[in-house]
Structure 1
């Protein structure tokens, strides 16, 4: 029997990690331990009919997810271990013992421990002048190396920390490395939490999964430029909330599904799709959203069709990631000059009955939204007759990534406040706002 992660993958078979609270909220953050193992070791780790991994789970009280079917044909597979620090360390040690036994049986010699860590945490593992990693090596009598930064990209944000030594010493080193990673992660999450006020209804993990992956937002949408300056993102989708993946369209279940329309230049379509569809498949896999690009209209001359509509369906977190990756690909492909921000048009649907609320008296609400978010927001003028409750109106939002994200979340929150969820009702209709509470501050 194979234990697999419930989450949708990001990098290296990325798992959906549990998240049980913000630091300081009295609830523990569930930070997973992720390791890489040789593919030919996976069978031994799982055991006959899952007996070995079941025993490890029972003995250590940690949850162990082997991503056996991810990255078919690769030489290494990811394993994600969930639980408190001691339980994770004990489970990792048991896996190392199984691997060493298998290596002995097949004359493969010594094994090593490979820990996966997000690139933004690696600097704190290495330390100034290499001091931290040197101290861990001295304290545990191990040799530790870190993979090259050149190995990361938008879909794989993890670096590999390789530890060599005896099983006992590798286990000690893992405990020290994981403690440092966990503390760094919680510090960053605490620093990010206040910014979530800009994005009501969105979990801070979504912001952290993509922020800094190449953007130079210069403080757009109210963010300090240093937090969102150029550089790698803090955390990949492996740290998002554990939400079972829906079977249809790749969108994550559990959250209300939102529909967003994003417009890209017609000459950018090939870059977004990628060779044989590889890039758009990666966007779908990484974000957990459904992403579809509309074909050219047959009844209009091609030279008159300068933009193509991209329909994105998914949870608020999936929307954030999918839209980010499209903006980022546009920047990478040079569709903007120099250091300018990529500016695209995004459309969301709101109940026509709420248009007046969004515009506000004399347009004061929409002007304030534009001021706070830094985006251009266009709504049609209200008609003389009251609209039907069933009608929807398109809101056009134009601007750089963080600006349009902030505008989307704020507008959806305004609609949600005006339309409380009826008892027993379920979300999921087209363009519906998220019905989750904003993160506790």
Structure 2
């Protein structure tokens, strides 16, 4: 008999949208939590912002971040919505939102109000900026990448700012949020009390950047310029081969020795520029130039074999398309092919976390907006007459549409 997932029996009320919040609640769902996603009557913006789809309301990005979640559509501003929210809060262990603090307070969903009525609740808010001069400003991933110094790092390397080509801030904040919620659940198991969490995006990502790149400016007075010059070197890139690229890193002296022998440059073993970690750090430009020159004459397949046999960390530099065929990812089950009830055949991306040695399943498919509204309200004790009254007054969306989704596990 397999062990239950760590968060089985935990209910999450998810009032988040786009990516940062949904990535956190996806992680909680993959840990076994029941996630009830609250959407507006128009649905999560990511349903259309995340790319085209067959239905027009199931973008690829939305499906990836919102599988394994039940969908309830509510008009939170409607005065008759309050009884629904109170019952949802009363039956939930965790409430998570990325609505701005002042708007949350107007809805009566701020931490003080919620915890006064539901003291065991864990109330979590993801904000763009914590208490300070920027408090309350709107924020998206690219805004945070700029404010937290990520885009500025590219100036040191490339001479112009740039964004990471994926939603770096949202992913980092989502993972930090899920971990913080798990910690609060552990504390509640000992104290019996819930509590308040805030995860500010700018500060969270700025801490990552500064821990990595404050460097010599850590000391007071500064001992030199900020930034890890090795990481920020313009030549610190995947290395071109005769027919593609490989990603190679040698940090330890034994790895460097193995690399130099494997690429046919044993005469450099005693070169003072490359003899120690500190020397290679100081001569990073020469080190990267030597690597590039050494690998350009043989194909990728050759270097993957030779460097792997030598014990040098090396992997192919994948495109999205080639990654789908990577034998390791296929074998581990990260990529799971399934039929979505509306969109047809798709590739789902599973969690990479293995509990008790088992690969994670992807749960059920992303639901239509409001698909589970009726079922959840019945579970909360509302009768058919109540639910119909909510529908007629515009409090809820019923999620009825052609080709309505179903749970993959059924």
**TM, length-normalised to structure 2:** 0.29
Larger Rg: 2
